[in-house]
C-alpha cells in the first residue's frame, strides 16, 4: 500500500522519537510503498503491518 511520507513520519514520531522521525523525513520518498520500502521502514522500527493497521483504516479482506 502506498502512503504519504507525512503519514509515515507522523507515525514514527508517535511510536518512536523525534530523531528517528527527522531522519525518516529526510530519507523516505514522498510516497512510501509498504511493500517496496519495508527495509527503510524497519530502519525506523516500523513494521508495515503496524503502519497499515493504524493508517490503512480497515482495509477489507485483511485478517478476516
Tell me the domain boundaries of the chain: 2-55
Q: How far is CA 43 from the centre of its chain?
A: 11
pLDDT digits (tens, 9 = 90+) for 11-60: 999 988 899 999 999 999 999 999 999 998 998 889 989 888 887 654 44
User: What does the pLDDT read at residue 11?
Assistant: 92
CA distances from 12 to 22, 37, 41, 63, 64 (A): 9, 15, 9, 24, 27
- Which pLDDT value is given to residue 29? 95
Please state, as a whole number, how many other Cβ atoms lie within 10 Å of the Cβ of residue 50: 13
Greatest CA span in the chain, whole angstroms?
A: 36
Measured in Å, how far apart are the chain's first and last C-alpha atoms?
A: 18
Residue 64 has pLDDT above 80, yes or no: no
Amino acid at each position: 500500500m502506498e502512503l504519504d511520507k507525512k503519514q509515515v513520519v507522523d507515525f514514527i514520531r508517535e511510536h518512536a522519537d523525534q530523531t528517528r522521525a527527522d531522519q525518516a523525513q529526510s530519507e523516505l520518498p514522498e510516497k512510501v510503498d509498504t511493500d517496496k520500502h519495508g527495509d527503510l521502514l524497519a530502519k525506523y522500527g516500523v513494521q508495515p503491518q503496524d503502519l497499515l493497521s493504524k493508517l490503512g483504516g480497515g482495509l477489507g479482506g485483511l485478517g478476516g
